[in-house]
Amino acid sequence: MQIYAGIDAGSRTIKIVLMDADRRVVASSLRDQGVEVVALTEELLDELLERAGLERSDLKRTVATGYARGAITSADTTITEITCHAAGVLRQAPHTRTIVEIGGQDSKVIHLDDSGHVRDFAMNDRCAAGTGRFLEMVADKLEVPLDALGELAAGSTSPSAISSMCVVFAETEIIGLLAAGEQRANLVAGVQRAIISRVAAMIGANARRPIIFTGGVAMVPGMDRALADSLNAEVQVAEAPQMTGALGAAILADR
């Protein structure tokens, strides 16, 4: 059997997709990133192969993408996250024209032309204030699960104004607001608005539809609604949004 592997070695998690010659996904999984990125990736790959009843010899080609793609020595080649996310999203939603990807440490906006090719992109990888790390910090400070933030934000009556552009200063700002008696719901809604406003600025005023939301933050309840409200447009969450980069890498391995 000929198997194509896509490895997305992201800043927070490692994702792997195995695909057969008919472009059917035969196995996929993810695990938290760590210091030993190569060892963790190889372990996850071996687990997936065993689960699917496959051997290393069944791997015809492997493509690595993501933050740590250059460290994956078992990959045959590397391809940028922009290209891989586009390929993965188009597999699920062929008419996509704008992709919004918010991960643990960065965020991206990818604009596609009418043929599905990448026309332009914008990326924020310098500040965690527009990423999942920001939400994780807020959940930690409020002592609530990450997936409970959306329900909290839904009860907001007046979202807090989070003015700091740096997650470190924003953390101090949030601690101050809590000490002043600000409601948790308003804080979460304010953080959601702050994250989305940064991403919306990258998207611009003329984002073409359909708009697909992917990355780990797309799985946090309420973030899709906040993005849709900010853009005044329908936003669709990708299927398995954390896996689109690895999926795209596996697709591109078979080219």
Per-residue pLDDT of the chain (255 residues; tens, 9 = 90+): 899 999 999 988 999 999 999 999 999 999 998 889 999 999 999 999 999 999 999 999 999 999 999 999 999 999 999 999 999 999 999 999 999 999 988 899 999 999 999 999 999 866 666 688 888 888 998 999 988 998 999 999 999 998 876 777 888 888 999 999 999 999 999 989 888 988 888 888 778 999 999 999 999 989 999 999 999 999 999 999 999 999 999 999 998
What does the pLDDT read at residue 129? Answer: 61
What does the pLDDT read at residue 215? Answer: 95
Distance CA 13, CA 77 (A): 20
User: Among candidates 54, 42, 81, 24, which has minimal Cα distance to 254?
Assistant: 24
Q: How many of the other CB atoms lie within 10 Å of CB of 78?
A: 18
Domains in the chain, CATH or no CATH each: 3-87+243-253 (3.30.420.40), 95-237 (3.30.420.40)
What does the pLDDT read at residue 83? Answer: 97
Q: How many of the other CB atoms lie within 10 Å of CB of 123?
A: 14
DSSP labels for the chain? --EEEEEEE-SSEEEEEEEETT--EEEEEEEE--S-HHHHHHHHHHHHHHHTT--GGGEEEEEEESTTGGG-TT-SEE--HHHHHHHHHHHH-TT--EEEEE-SS-EEEEEE-TTS-EEEEEEE-S-GGGSHHHHHHHHHHHT--GGGHHHHHHT-SS------SSHHHHHHHHHHHHHTT--HHHHHHHHHHHHHHHHHHHH-TTPPSSEEEESGGGGSTTHHHHHHHHHTS-EEEPSSGGGHHHHHHHHHHT-
Question: What global pTM score does this model have?
Answer: 0.92
What does the pLDDT read at residue 170? Answer: 82
